[in-house]
Amino acid sequence: MGLVEYTVTDAVARITLNRPPVNALNAELIADIGAAVEQAAAPDVRAVVITGSPHFAAGADITGFQASFDGDGDVDLAGDLASVVKSLEDLEKPTIAAINGFALGGGFELAMGADFRYLADDARVGQPEILLGIIPGAGGTQRLPRLVGYQRALKMCLTGRQIGAEEALTLGLADKVVSSDELSEAAMDDAVRFAAGPTAAYAAVKRSVARGLGVSLERGLEIEAAEFAGVFGTNDARIGVAAFLAKGKPDFTGQ
């Protein structure tokens, strides 16, 4: 993973994109992100932070697009990124994208694969692909409407407009906005708290919400009931209930 730094501290995996100057997404970087996400699926990892500096990821490497037009490049760059974003989304533990600078195009699509997005106050996000005569190809037209609604997502994708951190917070694209100096600490502090929580229950919540989206209420309730039954048999459920009855603090094991 030459273009990604991967560390684990306090059961939190930190995935840091490192392709200066703007973390433009090429085939190698996408593959390295995918490898890091795969490592983060390990049971000893209980939360994930994905980030990059000074920019999260300013979009795809456009020079690769030109090579694809000429028949010499990777024509499935978007498909490869889409698979990585889905892998991030499917991790059965809480995930936070800590966004510095630009998260545009594929970079923003990657961030939308995380459960939460924390933005530096000077960050900017958007789907500017339309300005190149193309469209988002790694989930932008699908995840964005689920976050901000049909009309807002349509407008963002049709205009390519970038939005700042405060507007992103208002729209629900950002879960927290802090100064750039505080971003890393804010993301890691919350990730550590998640890592000390009931990991199996977090996974069940993620599955219930994802699988229940777009199905009937009746089917959604069936999904929830099955997940509840599964979690009720975990060691953490016993720990949580016992701690509540003893008026103490649960020491969850993640199992």
Catalytic residue annotation: 109, 129
Amino acid of residue 157? C
| Cβ proximity of 103 and 125 under 8 Å | yes
Tokens of 169: 């917070």
Identity (one letter) of the amino acid at 24?
A: A
| Nearest by Cα to 51 from 5, 85, 9 | 5
Please tell me the distance from the alpha carbon of residue 243 to that of residue 217, in angstroms, as a whole number.
33
Strand order in the sheet with 124-126: 102-104, 124-126, 163-164
Q: How far apart are CA 14 and CA 75, in angstroms?
A: 29
What H or E segment, with its residue span, contains residue 95? strand 95-99
Of 116, 117, 122, 118, which is closest to residue 101 (Cα–Cα)?
Answer: 122
- Burial class (CB within 10 angstroms; exposed 0-12, middle 13-18, buried 19+) of 24: buried
Q: Give the integer Cα–Cα distance in Å for 113 and 59.
A: 15
**What is the CB-side half-sphere exposure of residue 146 using CA atoms within 13 A?**
13
Q: Which amino acid is at 189?
A: D
- Which run of H or of E encompasses 44? none
